[in-house]
Structure 1
Amino acid sequence: MSLLVVNQVTKTYGSSGWSRTGKQAGSGVTDVTFQVEPGMCLGILGESGAGKSTLGKIVLGLLPPDSGSVGFQGMDLYRSDRHTRKRLRRDLQVVFQDCYSAVNPRMTVKQIIGEPLRNYERLSAKEEKLVIAELLETVGLATTDMEKMPDQMSGGQLQRVNIARAIALKPKMIVLDEPVSSLDMIVQKQILYHLRELKEKIGLSYLFISHDVLAVNVLSDEVAIIERGRIVETMETAHMFHCVHPASKRIIHG
């Protein structure tokens, strides 16, 4: 069974009313269909304004589609009851682009990583500290980093903290929304290779949303090209540079 099934999803932003976003009417996503298998990374590659972020929010259960369905672990994400959705949410985590705005600046690293554990687990203070220490080591940070504040860490270090928080509950899938685009090239490479290592080591699945062809090439097994809210071409990443759709050629080859 596929882990994630997005079937004919459409979301259109209105030009007035509560849904006004500054976007033109008719933007969003249209009739988008794809699947993500267990242990797989699917890259969603597209230019700014193509609908990538909208799609990510829909997959995360944050933005109901106008039509179509999102199935996760065999359950409909938007038609399930509250209890089921909470259970599904545990297995579906996210790492955002801006590592600083994704955390509470008044929390320590220990508190940031421990937040999902406190929401879903019943651990003693000692048990929680041990789990956080292990998570920090898993993402290549020192256990002594847990007492630091976000402003005491570099962007790359803090993004590793966000990754540690995302894997704390041992989810089945993580949505990566431009997770390295705000980092310098060397740190980008380190984070991408670490994400790939985690995928291989613990069987994570990723939906990797990006505009960066090289980043998608490093991490993804397959790539779907999105243009003006539509998936125009899907292929194995190994064949990405042999794409045939004009939009794909423009995005991939520049």
Structure 2
Amino acid sequence: MSLLVADQISKTYSSSGWFRAKKAESGVTNVSFVVEPGMCLGLLGESGAGKSTLGKIVLGLLPPGSGSVRFQGEDLYRTDRRTRKQLRRDLQAVFQDCYSAVNPRMTVKQIIGEPLRNYERLSAKEEKRIIFGLLETVGLIAGDMHKTPNQMSGGQLQRVNIARAIALKPKLIVLDEPVSSLDMVVQKQILFHLKELKEKIGLSYLFISHDVMAVNVLSDCVAIIDKGTIAETIDTAKMFECTQPASKKIILSSTKTDLYL
């Protein structure tokens, strides 16, 4: 059974302004894709192409206008409340802005422990042990447990967000531009760490990005989104061999290529 199946997803937004009549604008139209267990599917496109809309729909945050999202065989928007809660345990996210994704008043221990407290009944000692293990997994140390977000760099805090996302051992993580706000050296570190986690513990990812090189590092397959529709789906290994028109729109930076390779 496929882990995630998005079938003919469409979402239309309405817009209006002082000097124009209200009109409908299409967010995404008839988009379909599949994520298999242990796979990373990259959603690659320019700003405004519909990537983040799809991410919100997959996470259960934005109902589609039409179509369905099936996660572990269950329709996210038609299942009962108890099943939906269980599905959300297995479906986590890491967002672009690592600072706005956390409560600035919480310590790292509280941030990572939040999903554990929501879903597990653990003693304080057991929770601390698990959090310490998660910090080690993402390359941080025990001393970071008592820091607050403003005491950490962007790269360190994004690792905290990753630790929180994997705390419940989810089946799928939606990565919505997780490295685009970081400098290039830290981007490389985070991407290769995500790749290592994928291989070590069998994580599956839906990786949303506008950066072709970042997608190339992590993804097994790439769906190229243009104006709300999937223009093409290709294997990552063939990304630089492809000559289709949709792929020609991707501009590669030689400097950035050297960094990731």
TM over 0.5: yes
Task: Note the 1:235-250 alignment, pairs <5 A.
Answer: 235-250=234-249
Q: TM-score, normalised by structure 1?
A: 0.95
**Inter-partner Cα distance in structure 2 for 1:12 and 1:244:** 31
Establish whether residue 213 from structure 1 lines up as the match of residue 218 from structure 2. Answer: no
* Aligned twin of 1:10: 10
Q: Equivalents in 2 of 1:47, 1:27: separation in Å? A: 15
Which position in structure 1 is the counterpart of 2:52? 53
Give the Cα separation in 1 of the matches to 2:248 and 2:107: 45
SS at match of 1:126: helix
Deviation digits for residues 118-175 of structure 1 (CA, Å, limit 9, x no counterpart): 0000001110000000000000000110100000000000000000000000000000
Q: Distance in 2 between matches of 1:8 and 1:32?
A: 5
1:51-200 → structure 2 map (5 Å cutoff): 51-200=50-199
CA deviations on 1:12-63 (whole Å, 9 max, x unpaired) are 10125xxxxxx97323100000000000000000000000000000000000
- Separation (CA, whole Å) in 2 of partners of 1:237 and 1:158: 28
Aligned to 2:258: none
Residues 44, 210 of structure 1: 8 Å contact kept: yes
- Aligned counterparts of 2:53 and 2:111: Cα–Cα separation in 1: 26
Preserved contact between residue 232 and residue 245 of structure 1 (Cα < 8 Å): no
Cα contact 1:47–1:251 (8 A) shared by 2: no
- Which residue is 2:257 aligned to? none
Classify the secondary structure of the residue corresponding to 1:43: strand
Change (3 A) 1:24 1:59: farther
Deviation per residue, 1:184-227 (Å, 9 max, x gap):
01100000000000000000000000000100000000000000
Asked whether the 8 Å contact 1:12–1:66 carries over to 2, the reply is yes
Q: CA deviation at 1:253?
A: 4.9
Q: TM-score, normalised by structure 2?
A: 0.93
Change (3 A) 1:179 1:217: same
User: Aligned residues, how many?
Assistant: 249
C-alpha separation in 1, matches of 2:76 and 2:95: 20
SS of 2:47's equivalent in the other structure is coil
Q: What is aligned with 2:226?
A: 227
Task: Supply the distance in 2 between the matched residues of 1:212 and 1:145 (Cα, whole angstroms).
Answer: 30
Question: Does the C-alpha gap of structure 1 residues 184 and 222 become closer, same or farther in structure 2, counting only changes over 3 Å?
Answer: same
Q: Distance in 2 between matches of 1:87 and 1:252?
A: 41
One-letter identity of the residue aligned with 1:166 = A
Report if aligned partners of 1:241, 1:253 keep a CA contact under 8 Å in 2.
no
Gaps of 5+ in 2: 17-21, 254-261
Distance (Å, rounded) in 1 between the aligned partners of 2:71 and 2:124: 32
SS of corresponding position for 1:131: helix
- Aligned-residue offset at 1:247: 2.6
State whether residues 95 and 162 of structure 1, in contact with CA within 8 Å, keep that contact through their aligned partners in structure 2: yes
The alignment-based identity, stated in percent, is 81
